[in-house]
Amino acid sequence: MQGQAYIGRFAPSPSGPLHFGSLIAALGSYLRARSQQGKWLVRIEDIDPPREVAGASTLILSTLEAYGLYWDDTELYQSTRLNVYEAKLQQLLADEQAYFCQCTRKQIQAMPDSYDGRCARLHPPLTHGAIRIKNTAAIAQFHDQLMGNVSVDKAFAEEDFIIKRRDGLYAYQLAVVMDDAFQGITEVVRGSDLLTSSARQISLFQQFHAPVPEWLHLPLACDAPGHKLSKQNHAQAIDNKAPQQSIQAALGFLGQAKVDIDAPEIMLKQAVEQFDLAAIPQQQEILL
Ligand SMILES: [Zn+2]
């Protein structure tokens, strides 16, 4: 990282208010960035309208502010980037680095390991359907700043995965990689539920000839063994009016020393000064 300014990010999807699990990701990425005198950006991942909740983006941003988690630059909304994603897809199709696939869920389930690439071999090629990347830069192992060497299933890593869905929505992997590259992100800090996604994203960075960021996967907050907090299982929203307790609890979860109870900005300032990467506990159990 020497000679290169640190740029980190927090990238929530507006599918509900922030809960304790998302606070961990926000705070962890914030502390890491600020302790490196780096930038901390916020990106709203709003490219899945059916899963979005009206007003959630505004609520997320006001919660970050209430917690003293001020970001640099203007927040980026993925919904403003659809033309860029589409142009990239068209270029990948033209370069035969991607192809259409019309396989049904049933056909895919009948394949032995993962998707077998059969639609790539059709002549003439299909002209509509889902779009898959021709995965020529697959990686099954990568370095995590906290977990060390991480391995994912080889068949999973090598799969020609979907970069545009059959329903016309841009796939998470494509949008995230294009935006991390666009924003110059040097390190991705997020929950370890995205560990396998990281392997796929590294292969896309490589295939796009974009610099690959570093990775740091934080442990996940669970409300029961093996049951992570998420918007999908209706984790409770964190309280905008009493951020001090949640900040202290999140610091404790991340293995960080307590700070003096004060205004959130002052608590965070102390937390940045005290930040100790090595004290963050590792995820013991991989939750996928
Ligand atoms: Zn297919």
Enter the pTM of the model: 0.93
- Between CA 25 and CA 18 the distance in angstroms is 10
CA of 101 to the centre of ligand 1 (A): 4
Which of the four pLDDT bands, split at 50, 70 and 90, describes residue 3? low
Phi-psi region of 41 (alpha: psi -120 to 50; beta: other; left: phi over 0): beta
In the three-class reduction of DSSP (H, G, I as helix; E, B as strand; rest coil), residue 74 is classed as coil
CA of 99 to the centre of ligand 1 (A): 9
The pair of three-digit structure tokens given for residue 153, joined into one six-digit string? 């299933």
CA of 1 to the centre of ligand 1 (A): 40
CA of 120 to the centre of ligand 1 (A): 7
- Between CA 14 and CA 60 the distance in angstroms is 8
Which residues fall inside 5 Å of ion ligand 1, going by CB? Answer: 101, 103, 119
Return the closest-CA partner of residue 38 out of 187, 180, 147, 145: 187
CA of 250 to the centre of ligand 1 (A): 44
pLDDT at 287: 47
Return the closest-CA partner of residue 179 out of 52, 78, 33: 78
pLDDT at 1: 45
Q: Is pLDDT of 37 > 60?
A: yes
CA of 197 to the centre of ligand 1 (A): 21
CA of 102 to the centre of ligand 1 (A): 5
Secondary structure letter of residue 214 according to DSSP? E
First and final CA of the chain: distance in angstroms? Answer: 30
CA of 205 to the centre of ligand 1 (A): 23
- Cα dihedral sign for 78, 63, 42, 146? negative
Whether 131 contacts 98, CB under 8 Å: yes
In the three-class reduction of DSSP (H, G, I as helix; E, B as strand; rest coil), residue 66 is classed as helix
pLDDT at 231: 59
Whether 73 contacts 41, CB under 8 Å: yes
CA of 48 to the centre of ligand 1 (A): 23
CA of 103 to the centre of ligand 1 (A): 4
- Between CA 42 and CA 26 the distance in angstroms is 9
Q: What is the pLDDT of residues 79-120, one digit of tens each?
A: 999 999 999 999 999 999 999 999 999 999 999 989 999 999
